[in-house]
């Protein structure tokens, strides 16, 4: 609860740095989740990956940032990047910051 209150005090971020999951998730926003949350933070009680219970910035709050930088490292991420390029709908493809988005990919 304290985290949520702290986040509400920030109108938007200048930069959000995110990792990219092998399934296309960002933050703790996984494929198949309802991403239309109107709050700044969301509580997750049944995450498909450990830990089961998490707290995350909502997609709305992430998209309110000026810039988003996504880091993807490793050969397993290459597959998800190809799916993104093909237009698959995933949480990462729902990112629309105010100014810019950049995907940086590093091979192992």
Cα(60)–Cα(107) distance, rounded to whole angstroms?
30
Domain total for the chain? 1
Domain that includes residue 7, residue range: 2-106
Convert the pLDDT of each residue in 4-63 to its tens digit: 777 777 888 999 999 999 999 999 999 999 888 889 999 999 999 999 999 999 999 999
Convert the pLDDT of each residue in 48-62 to its tens digit: 999 999 999 999 999
Q: What is the pLDDT of residue 95?
A: 92
Nearest to 78 by CA among 101, 51, 108, 50: 108
Q: Tell me, what CATH number does 46's domain have?
A: 3.40.50.1360
CB 66 within 8 A of CB 13: yes
Cα(56)–Cα(2) distance, rounded to whole angstroms?
13
**What is this structure's pTM?**
0.86
Cα separations in angstroms, 68 against 53, 71, 92: 25, 10, 11
For residue 55, count other CB atoms closer than 10 A to its CB: 14
């Amino acid at each position: 609860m304290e985290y949520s209150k702290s986040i509400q005090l920030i109108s938007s971020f200048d930069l959000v740095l995110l990792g990219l999951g092998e399934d296309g998730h960002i933050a703790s926003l996984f494929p198949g989740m309802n991403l239309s949350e109107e709050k700044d933070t969301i509580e997750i009680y049944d995450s498909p990956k450990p830990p089961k219970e998490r707290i995350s910035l909502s997609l709305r709050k992430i998209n309110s940032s000026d810039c988003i930088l996504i880091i993807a490292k490793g050969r397993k991420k290459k597959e998800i990047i190809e799916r993104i390029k093909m237009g698959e709908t995933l949480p990462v493809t729902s990112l629309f910051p105010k100014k810019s988005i950049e995907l940086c990919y590093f091979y192992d």
